[in-house]
Amino acid sequence: MSLTVTTWSLEQTAPTDLLPAAAPEGDDVRIVRAEVPSPEFSRFLYASVGGDIRWTDRLSLSYAQWQEELGKPGVETWVAYDKGTPAGYVELAAQEGGVVEIVYFGLIPAFRGRRIGGHLLSYGVRRAWDLAERWPELTPTKRVWLHTCSKDGEHAMDNYLRRGFKLFDTEVSQERDVATPGPWPGA
């Protein structure tokens, strides 16, 4: 069975493009960089955040392939915790010429709708803009970009636009429809 998927690519071209969201009320949400590349933890985040919206591109990667992806210079995983529990994450990846891609971003379903997403995205975009400060071998960031698609959460595009991202490309494709993988079957 085939599924029509629209993919939108969005960008910011200056740090001043960011329109940050307010932090959620209270001080229970913390965002911490996972500084030690961990395929186990990253796969947990990936499957937990993307399971109900059909993220499947990394599910077939071996442990070594996960380690290779996470170990590249300029790849960072920033995790939002709510009262000590992982709530979501943003994965950044440096590209040539001062470009940083937000490769993955999202919340575990139980944490959606609680104003954590805008805060996490704002924080992640700031870290994309200052990525070269933590990775001196990289060119300073000149552009931050991401893509989202019609399979992503219903508020994803609105969140990106509210944070100051601008649309620069749209593609429509056919993909094989797959069962929702979840962190476990039926999740």
Structural domains counted in the chain: 1
Domain containing residue 19: 2-176
Query: Considering the domain boundaries, does residue 141 fall inside one?
Result: yes
3-state secondary structure the chain: CEEEEEEEEEEECCHHHCCCCCCCCCCCEEEEECCCCCHHHHHHHHHHHHHHHCCCCCCCCCHHHHHHHHCCCCEEEEEEEECCEEEEEEEEEEECCCEEEEEEEEECHHHCCCCHHHHHHHHHHHHHHCHHHHCCCCCCCCEEEEEEECCCCCCHHHHHHHCCCEEEEEEEEEEECCCCCCCCCCC
State residue 186's pLDDT score: 46
- For 42-61, the pLDDT digits (tens) are 999 999 999 888 888 898 89
Q: Whole-model pTM?
A: 0.93
State residue 54's pLDDT score: 80
Query: Considering the domain boundaries, does residue 129 fall inside one?
Result: yes
- For 121-143, the pLDDT digits (tens) are 999 999 999 999 999 999 999 99
Query: Considering the domain boundaries, does residue 163 fall inside one?
Result: yes
Q: What is the CATH number of the domain that holds 11?
A: 3.40.630.30
Query: Considering the domain boundaries, does residue 181 fall inside one?
Result: no
**For residues 172-183, average pLDDT:** 74
State residue 83's pLDDT score: 94
